[in-house]
């Protein structure tokens, strides 16, 4: 039996989306280390209507947590954020993104390391791409070390297994390990 792997640079194409989020909401996708803490941080923002943790930016369709952790799928642990733009702007979400992690450590946040923990912004349209790049460049002005955050078009987002959704909330934890810059 021959096993074929898609090792190409292009991420997996987006599958049909099973829903469009809450009415009038917009979508943003961020990777900033362990998705449990990232989700918890975004859920605290007024105007964030819904979140989901999952995997994106890879080259394997329908990855599992175990496969992503092995580092061979190319996916990042990420959070899909649905937000009401009348209550919170994409720019404000970007500000929160920069505050909740260290964007200068490649493939690492705190004690977690591997490409699945990389810092990345997955833009859903040209406006988000432009805002993310401008935000990254502005953030760089306040840092000595080089930002390594990837800014890339969004690709397929695969919702993580149910036990990962709202994990910290379900287990009574306020967040993951502190990020120190």
* Rounded Cα distance, 113 and 116, in Å: 8
Positions marked catalytic: 34
Return the bridge partners of 157, or none. Answer: 56
Reference 17, options 106, 115, 101, 124; nearest CA is 124
- Interior/surface letters 127-147, b for 16+ CB within 10 angstroms, e for the rest: ebbebbeebbeebeeeeeeeb
């Amino acid at each position: 039996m021959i096993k074929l792997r898609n090792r190409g640079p292009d991420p997996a194409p987006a599958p049909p989306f099973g829903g469009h989020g809450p009415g009038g909401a917009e979508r943003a996708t961020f990777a900033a280390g362990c998705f449990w803490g990232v989700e918890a941080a975004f859920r605290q923002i007024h105007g964030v209507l819904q979140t989901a943790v999952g995997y994106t930016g890879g080259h394997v369709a329908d990855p599992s947590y175990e496969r992503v952790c092995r580092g061979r799928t190319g996916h990042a642990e990420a959070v899909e954020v649905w937000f009401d733009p009348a209550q919170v702007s994409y720019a404000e979400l970007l500000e929160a993104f920069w505050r909740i992690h260290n964007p200068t450590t490649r493939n690492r946040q705190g004690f977690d390391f591997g490409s699945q923990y990389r810092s990345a912004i997955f833009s859903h349209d040209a406006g988000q791409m432009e805002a993310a790049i401008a935000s990254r460049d502005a953030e760089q002005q306040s840092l000595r070390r080089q930002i390594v955050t990837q800014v890339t078009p969004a690709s397929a987002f695969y919702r993580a297994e149910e036990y990962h959704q709202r994990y910290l909330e379900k287990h009574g934890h306020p967040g993951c390990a502190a990020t120190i810059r």
